Copies of this chain bind each other. A is one copy, B any other.
Amino acid sequence: MQPIGMQNLCYYARQFAGINDDKINILRQVYPDVSERLQEVTDTFYARLQEIPKTHPFLEGRIDTLKKTHVAWLHELFTSDFGVDYTSKLYHVGDVHVKVKLPVEFMAGAMTLIQGELARIFGETYRNDQDKLIKAIQALNAAAGFSLLIMQESYQSSSMAEELEKFLRITGMSRVLFNNLAKAYR
């Protein structure tokens, strides 16, 4: 996707997920209070995944590496500006998920796991400050929603592109011929 497309996607995802400067500030305020517990979220996350047989082929022999990427991303979730760079990065992650043939539902499932764990940790952290608790939960929900939305956009467009590749390979048809037929069809 071109830079201009990425800017539009960023703006659109911000609007849809409701992430804005207020929520970004809240995440940054919350960050020092939970930063040391993010490794625990990642550990619980992969422990939970390991209970689900369908995830095993994606985890075997790679857990340590995956955990490093995952916890780094959790830190980013609290500190990002949710701008074009973060959008491009997440867009790329969606593409990679198609390339490694990660099932589409893993992304939504993962966000659910993470939001559930962080709700628990926020509850412990802000036991005596319910306003902050609700604000933290809403800000995280928006940040996770933004990230999921971007990844799914790129997952969808990458998997459509892969499907075309597959069709061309199977039929032995050239891309030029297919494109010409597609033009004529419209």
A residues near B (Cβ < 8 Å) are 12-13, 15-18, 48, 51-52, 54, 103-105, 108-109, 111-113, 115-116, 119-120, 123, 127, 130, 133-134, 137-138, 141-142, 144-146, 148-150, 152-153, 155-156, 159-160, 163-164, 167, 169-173, 178, 181-182, 185
Contact = CB atoms under 8 A, between A and B. Distances in A.
Nearest to A51: B15
Copy number in the complex reads 2
Contact of A160 (B133, B148, B163): B163
B141 A115 contact: yes
A46 to B, nearest CB: 13
A164 B115 CA distance: 36
Contacts of A109: 13, 16-17, 145, 149
A178 B170 contact: yes
17 contacts: A13-B109, A16-B105, A17-B109, A18-B116, A104-B152, A109-B149, A112-B144, A116-B138, A119-B134, A133-B133, A156-B159, A160-B163, A170-B182, A170-B185, A171-B171, A171-B173, A171-B178
Interface centre among A13, A152, A173 (most CB of B within 10 A): A152
A112 B142 contact: yes
Given A16-B113, A108-B149, 11 more contacts: A12-B52, A18-B112, A18-B113, A104-B156, A105-B156, A115-B141, A116-B145, A123-B130, A152-B152, A170-B178, A170-B181
A134 B120 contact: yes
A138 B152 contact: no
Interface centre among A120, A134, A141 (most CB of B within 10 A): A141
Q: Which 10 A-B pairs have the closest CB atoms?
A: A112-B145, A16-B109, A123-B134, A104-B156, A105-B149, A108-B148, A170-B185, A163-B163, A167-B167, A17-B112
